[in-house]
Structure 1
Amino acid sequence: MFRVQVWDDDANHYVDVVLSFDPWGAVGYRHAQLGDPPAEYDDPGEAWRDAVDLLERFGDAIVTLLDTSTGERHFDERNLAEVGADASEASAASEIWTDDWIIQRAVRIRAVSAGGDVYEPWPGYTHPMTRDQAVKALEECEERWPEHEFRAHRLRLEEKVAADAIDRARRSARSRKYD
């Protein structure tokens, strides 16, 4: 089963959506409320058809398909397994790491049983960098702000895609503000 989801910038996570259609395809969406049937498909091809319709109409939206059987997110058709294919053959798009790193600061240290530590991107060190640059930046942060705990975090592909889309949306909003 594949579920169409859209990134909610305010909630800082993906949300299920209910789609609206015209004779030519999906033309809109709204957040699914309790009791609403979310946009779910057995056929990934049909799901992508509607997701692409949304992307064409809402260029700033981050649309993804969630494979509910594996928990994997798919940002394009290349990483989708064929219907009926063995799940072990499916690509793990959400686990593909990039060569980009950022620096994060510990916000809350918790036991693994409580969900683990919570980190947030540290301002000034959120632009993707190489591993060597991240190691130097981490040392710099630890030296400048010894009262904080930092880590170098290697970005997952989905984090990078989401961050790029959020940056595009923010730039677009800023440019409209000055028009």
Structure 2
Amino acid sequence: MYRVQVWDDDANRYVDVVLSFDRWGAVGFRHAQFGDTPAEYDDPEEAWRDAVDLQERFGNAIVTLLDMSTGERHFDECNLPEIGANISEASAAPEIWTDDWIIQRAVRKRPMSAGGDVYEPWSGYTHPMTRDQAVKALEECEERWPEHEFRAHRLRLEEKVAADAIDRARRFVRSRKHD
């Protein structure tokens, strides 16, 4: 079973969605609410077709397929199991993520009661680095841009996966601009 999910910046996680369709395919989505049936598929090719439709229509959205049997997220077709394949044989062992860090800039200062401060990745410092590299990069950012507040941020698995998907989407958009 595969579930189409979309990254929600406000919730800082992937959320289930309900899709809307026209005769050409998936044209929209909304967050699944209590009682809704989220977009679920038995066939990974059908699920991916609708996920691709959404990604094409909403270029800034991060769309993923969640394999409900393994908990793996898929961002492209290359690592989806073959139709009819045994899921346990088709999926590789989960990749081990290293201790990666990025630099983020404060964009909104809020009290903890309002959810705390909001940070965004700082351009040029979004490629994962070691802790020591992040400390040096943080010092560099603070020196070059004293008007901003920065932090070195340890990446969680979801953030690293999302950052990888965003980088792929940006590269895709750049390549289309040059065509």
TM-score tier, shorter chain, comes to 0.5 to 0.7
TM-score norm. by structure 1 comes to 0.63
Mapping 1:154-169, distance limit 5 Å: 157-161=160-164, 164=167
**For residue 85 of structure 1, what is the amino acid of its counterpart?**
N
Q: Trace 1:1-179 onto structure 2 (pairs within 5 A).
A: 1-83=1-83, 84-91=85-92, 95=95, 97=97, 101-102=101-102, 126-131=125-130, 134-138=131-135, 153=154, 157-161=160-164, 164=167
CA distance in 2, matches of 1:58, 1:65: 16
Runs of 4+ in 1 over 6 A off after TM superposition: 120-125, 139-142
Provide, for residues 129-171 of structure 1, a one-character-per-residue CA deviation record: whole Å limited to 9, x for no partner.
544xx424337869x9xxxxx98846755142256489x7xxx
Same amino acid, percent of matched pairs: 61
Give unpaired runs (5+ residues) of structure 2: 105-117, 143-150, 171-179
CA 1:121–1:28 in 2, change beyond 3 Å: closer, same or farther?
A: closer
Pick closer, same or farther for the CA change 1:9–1:54 going to 2, 3 Å. same
How far off its partner does 1:96 sit?
5.9
Deviation at 1:128, TM superposition (A): 1.7
Q: What CA deviation, in whole Å up to 9, does each residue of 1:97-156 have, x standing for no partner? A: 48964369xxxxxxxxxxxxxxx979769522544xx424337869x9xxxxx9884675
Instruction: Give the TM-score normalised by structure 2.
Output: 0.63
CA distance in 1, matches of 2:93, 2:53: 24
Partners in 2 of 1:121 and 1:11 — Cα distance? Answer: 13
RMSD: 3.6
Flag the 1:101–1:137 CA change in 2: closer, same or farther, 3 A.
closer
Aligned partners of 1:129 and 1:31: how far apart in 2?
Answer: 30
Q: Is the 8 A contact 2:4 2:65 kept in 1?
A: yes
Corresponding residue for 2:113? none
CA contact (8 A) 2:17 2:29 kept: yes
Preserved CA contact (<8 Å) 1:102 1:155: no
Contact 2:20–2:28 (CA under 8 A) maintained in structure 1: yes
User: Does the 8 A contact of 1:2 with 1:40 survive in 2?
Assistant: yes
